[in-house]
Chains A and B, each alone.
Chain A
């Protein structure tokens, strides 16, 4: 058992920072503007002008279209931007073939195969659901299909389904980061909470959020206990029973990972029960939906997570030009603000562009997939959300995890994250390090790593 520490030491060891003042430390600014201004270097060798075909699979129908639509819009924005410069290496225009992820896992695997074999796609990307990446990952490996998943963030993709990835990569932070970030933010903000009620959607995402929140609370807020659980089906919009049950348990804190339209329905119903006046509230993904879907009636001052990835007003736009440029372009193109899926899909193509250029400098001509893969492993890119690093061992994208507090601002017709109170945590401090053994049971690497190595806060 690791030694006991004080909560303050613990938080500083984790590198948790809060507020706009912290951004200078977590997001170094020097040189960033130069990245966008960088002159367009001439590519080496002969580049074919055949289109570069990209398959983008995401939800176009059903409840998850609230996340699928922003993903597709981010992707198209990046593709149009690259094509306006002549395409990849100035020659190969990006041609997008889209597919509806709502078809179901088996159909999605077949569609991926069809895209590779009949449409001859060069890159596969997109995917929202954690239920799909563990099936699509192994298929991409066997098809030898270069794949960069935007989301589908389950830890099990690289913990279990594909232990040694070669062709597949992923951009967004891993699922466990959501539960861990929410718990760290809670322990820091409301260290006195003891009685905790949970409402999570009943599938892998909600289960994962619940497990990781609890293991971190065990370490950071010893004595906290779960007093009520609700497991609504994904797609539930009547939360009356879940809300009355949670209130009846008289908790200090409600924790929820309900998202999208479900979440909008849930918070509006909870308001009528004065739920947010009776307890604190922490969410993993409340503000992950497109920003304008959250009304000004949303409770202020709650921890409103963004899937630990990105919210459009952070990094602060006046201090991180890549973000201000992205938000402006997105707003001009789509008449709405981006969410974390938009940013992920956009950064995916920008990462591809940067990698292809790097590989071209080394090999000349159009780089083959092996050359692109070798440059993707360990790649770093400055995206709208800040720095993103691709870990070479597991092909997982890492960027600082973030969450924040909800606030109304006269500048926006919807509620936003308070730009002065953003919480960031260096991702390496809350995910299992390279080489940590994959557990055999249902636990994730990060779960067992936290369980075995984190100290317990002394009260």
Chain B
């Protein structure tokens, strides 16, 4: 029973972070029809900003509970970056064929990766005192880090908050209208440019939040962005690109299957996620919640 609970918590932990990344990716695609290949690097950027900022303050006079809030520097900087990128780099390409958008976001991915290395160097940044600071819980004979539970809670809150935001607010209605038919929304008086920049910024904020929240547990390392992007793609391929429900279900499925893979089939841990994605694609080419 305890073992089962631990497996469940491990799956949820992985799914929570994945949802933050894949949810943002899917939101941006759903509204703007842009596959943002730099999305993983915004996740990494959020992680590095959070690690660096907290790292400056650890051991100083700042009380520890406040340091957890300082982690939020990550998502806010990632969001600011998104707010700057959309109007300057993406907007000029909306009228062009999709491959231009892929090229520009791919270029952006390389630039952001190099920028991170230029600013913070090649070595990992860690702030594990925040991970240590929360201690552990006893679950039967096992112990479980409390911070992991906090990550699960934040992931859950983010999913609920996002749902409420999109289905229960005025802005959400405008967002969904633009997503369903951009021209019609424009004809009805929606300022599409503004909606785009808001959606993109929100997506980047989520990616940055994902990055910041893993930092106490995992640190910030080069290459984490590309790895995150690939996993986020697995999630959205399963769930359906552009669907938030899909991202949530996809993240949960990946979390559970990865946990099962590691526990029972360690030799194929790598393959098992891709096999699942391939299986879903065969049965439902647009993903479980895809609209195409």
Within A216-270, which residues are at the interface with B (CB < 8 Å)?
229-233, 235-238, 240-242, 244-245, 247-248, 260-262, 264-265, 268-269
Interchain CB contact under 8 A, A245 and B122: no
In the complex, chain B residues whose CB is within 8 Å of the CB of A289:
123
Interchain CB contact under 8 A, A245 and B263: yes
Q: Does B107 contact A (CB under 8 A)?
A: no
Within A252-302, which residues are at the interface with B (CB < 8 Å)?
260-262, 264-265, 268-269, 271-274, 289-290, 292-293, 295, 297
Q: CB within 8 Å of B: which residues of A?
A: 60-66, 68-69, 202, 229-233, 235-238, 240-242, 244-245, 247-248, 260-262, 264-265, 268-269, 271-274, 289-290, 292-293, 295, 297
27 A-B contact pairs sorted by A residue (CB < 8 Å): A60-B122, A62-B222, A63-B222, A65-B117, A65-B223, A66-B122, A202-B269, A230-B262, A237-B221, A238-B13, A238-B17, A238-B217, A241-B263, A245-B263, A247-B142, A248-B142, A261-B123, A261-B219, A261-B221, A264-B219, A265-B217, A265-B218, A268-B126, A269-B131, A269-B218, A273-B143, A297-B128
Interchain CB contact under 8 A, A66 and B269: no
In the complex, chain A residues whose CB is within 8 Å of the CB of B136:
272-274
* Residue from A64, A240, A245, A268 with most neighbouring chain B CB atoms (10 Å): A240
Least Cβ distance of B109 to chain A in Å? 11
Cα distance, A66 to B144, chains bound together (Å): 30
Least Cβ distance of A296 to chain B in Å? 11
Please give me the residue from chain A that is nearest to B145 by CB atom: A272
Q: Does B3 contact A (CB under 8 A)?
A: yes
* Residue from B122, B219, B258 with most neighbouring chain A CB atoms (10 Å): B122
Complex partner residue of B258 from A61, A68, A241, A295, CB under 8 angstroms:
A241
Interchain CB contact under 8 A, A273 and B145: yes
Cα distance, A149 to B15, chains bound together (Å): 41
Interchain CB contact under 8 A, B123 and A66: yes
Least Cβ distance of A62 to chain B in Å? 4
Which are the 5 A-B pairs with shortest beta-carbon distances? A261-B221, A65-B122, A63-B223, A237-B218, A261-B124
Q: CB within 8 Å of A: which residues of B?
A: 3, 6-7, 10, 13-14, 17, 113-114, 117, 121-124, 126, 128, 131-132, 136, 142-143, 145, 147-148, 214, 217-219, 221-224, 226-227, 258-259, 262-263, 266-267, 269-270
In the complex, chain A residues whose CB is within 8 Å of the CB of B269:
202, 230-233
Interchain CB contact under 8 A, B113 and A264: no
Please give me the residue from chain A that is nearest to B127 by CB atom: A268
In the complex, chain A residues whose CB is within 8 Å of the CB of B3:
248
Interchain CB contact under 8 A, B223 and A274: no
In the complex, chain A residues whose CB is within 8 Å of the CB of B217:
238, 265, 268-269
Interchain CB contact under 8 A, B124 and A268: no
Complex partner residue of A241 from B17, B114, B259, CB under 8 angstroms:
B259
Please give me the residue from chain A that is nearest to B231 by CB atom: A233
In the complex, chain A residues whose CB is within 8 Å of the CB of B126:
264-265, 268, 295
In the complex, chain B residues whose CB is within 8 Å of the CB of A268:
126, 128, 131, 217, 219
In the complex, chain B residues whose CB is within 8 Å of the CB of A237:
214, 218-219, 221, 224
In the complex, chain B residues whose CB is within 8 Å of the CB of A202:
269-270
Interchain CB contact under 8 A, B131 and A229: no
Least Cβ distance of A264 to chain B in Å? 5
Interchain CB contact under 8 A, A65 and B222: yes
Q: A238-B13, A241-B258 are in contact. Are A230 and B266 (CB under 8 A)?
A: yes
Interchain CB contact under 8 A, A244 and B10: yes
Complex partner residue of B214 from A64, A233, A238, CB under 8 angstroms:
A238
In the complex, chain B residues whose CB is within 8 Å of the CB of A274:
136, 143
Interchain CB contact under 8 A, A61 and B128: no
Interchain CB contact under 8 A, B263 and A290: no
Interchain CB contact under 8 A, A295 and B128: yes
Interchain CB contact under 8 A, A238 and B223: no
Cα distance, A272 to B146, chains bound together (Å): 9
Cα distance, A170 to B77, chains bound together (Å): 45
Interchain CB contact under 8 A, A235 and B124: no
Interchain CB contact under 8 A, B123 and A292: yes
Interchain CB contact under 8 A, B270 and A233: yes
Least Cβ distance of B228 to chain A in Å? 10
Please give me the residue from chain B that is nearest to A263 by CB atom: B124
Please give me the residue from chain B that is nearest to A236 by CB atom: B227
Please give me the residue from chain B that is nearest to A65 by CB atom: B122
Q: A241-B263, A272-B132 are in contact. Are A293 and B270 (CB under 8 A)?
A: no
Cα distance, A268 to B129, chains bound together (Å): 10
